[in-house]
Homo-oligomer: A and B are copies of this chain.
Amino acid sequence: MHSNGTLAPEWSVTQWFNTHQPLHLADLRGKVVVLHAFQMLCPGCVVHGLPQTQKIYNTFDTSEVMVIGLHTVFEHHEVMTPQALEAFIHEYRYTFPIGVDQPDEQLELPLTMRAYSMRGTPSLIVIDHKGFIRKHSFGRDDDMQIGADIAALISEAKAASSAEPSTVEGRDIGDGDCDQEKCKV
């Protein structure tokens, strides 16, 4: 896990499943965010990545960790449609929120996948409470290591939460930190 990271860009999602309202990264500051990018016809996602993501969702408290699946279709677009995804989610009984990465009108790679420079699927991205990417992996991750990484970020979030005065504005911006809106220098 990186001790520092780059600021995570907002995702671009055209449709959500398993959530009543759209989710925005900007609204999740203060929580650890686990973003799992997959394709429904990607064997590594189905056999390993998605079950692991469901396990993360079951293991951690949603008040501390927000788990988001992202359907980043970059091949077989004509059959990995949102309608097909809906049937897939239903059959596999996934319960965590899943968004459809916004297709690019001209390129095969969807927008969020490009914004995060993902190599492919499955990709696992872990974002800390301040919105920084602390883990960015492609392929197969180990359960114990993932559990430890997420827990360490929860502890960071708790420490920050208990340390900060209740009146501060721009609470998530530390010295030298920079988000897309403003920089603190």
Contact = CB atoms under 8 A, between A and B. Distances in A.
A26 interface: no
A41 B87 contact: yes
Given A150-B151, A155-B156, 13 more contacts: A42-B91, A43-B92, A75-B87, A76-B87, A79-B87, A84-B84, A144-B146, A144-B147, A146-B147, A147-B147, A147-B148, A148-B151, A151-B151
A78 B83 CA distance: 9
A151 B78 CA distance: 42
A168 interface: no
A159 B152 CA distance: 12
Contacts of A149: 151
A156 B80 CA distance: 45
Interface of A: 41-43, 46-47, 55-56, 59-60, 75-76, 78-81, 83-84, 87-88, 91-92, 142-152, 154-156, 159
Give the number of times this chain occurs in the complex, counting copies. 4
A20 B76 CA distance: 23
A122 B75 CA distance: 27
Nearest to A93: B43
Contacts of A76: 84, 87, 91
Per DSSP, are chain A's interface residues mostly helix, strand or loop, or mixed? helix
Contacts of A91: 41-43, 76
11 contacts: A41-B87, A41-B91, A59-B144, A59-B148, A76-B87, A76-B91, A79-B79, A148-B148, A148-B150, A149-B151, A150-B151
A149 to B, nearest CB: 7
Contacts of A41: 84, 87-88, 91
A79 B80 CA distance: 8
